[in-house]
């Protein structure tokens, strides 16, 4: 667990070692891939400077940008396969490389 400022007080992200390396589940530290890639904050923040510092921290904690998983982006379910076909669109395997 890592304290990442910006969106709310006490916001944390989780760093998990998987078969593909260190993956960071960003939670609200990066709502969408676009927020992180364009360095554009989500509309609701408590401190924009802390949010920008948080993005740097996410990048430092993850093995690559492909190892950072935003908290609300539906794209996550398109990029990562489900553990079972019956869970498609509901659950994603983050321990494997994204398919796009």
1: which 2 tokens?
A: 């667990």
pLDDT in single tens digits along all 100 residues of the chain: 998 988 788 889 999 999 999 999 998 888 899 988 998 888 888 888 888 899 999 999 999 999 999 999 999 999 999 999 999 999 999 999 998 7
Rounded Cα–Cα distance for residues 97 and 100 (Å): 9
Q: Find all residues with CB under 8 Å of 9, minimum gap 6, and list them.
A: 46
CB atoms closer than 10 angstroms to residue 43: 7
43: which 2 tokens?
A: 């509309």
């Amino acid at each position: 667990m890592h304290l990442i400022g910006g969106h709310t007080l006490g916001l944390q992200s989780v760093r998990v070692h998987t078969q593909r390396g260190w993956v960071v589940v960003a939670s609200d530290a990066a709502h969408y891939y676009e927020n992180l890639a364009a360095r554009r904050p989500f509309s609701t923040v408590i401190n924009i400077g802390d949010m920008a510092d948080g993005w740097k921290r996410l990048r430092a904690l993850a093995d690559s940008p492909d190892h950072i998983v935003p908290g609300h982006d539906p794209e996550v379910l398109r990029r990562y396969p489900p553990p079972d076909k019956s869970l498609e669109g509901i659950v994603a395997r983050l321990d494997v490389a994204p398919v796009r």
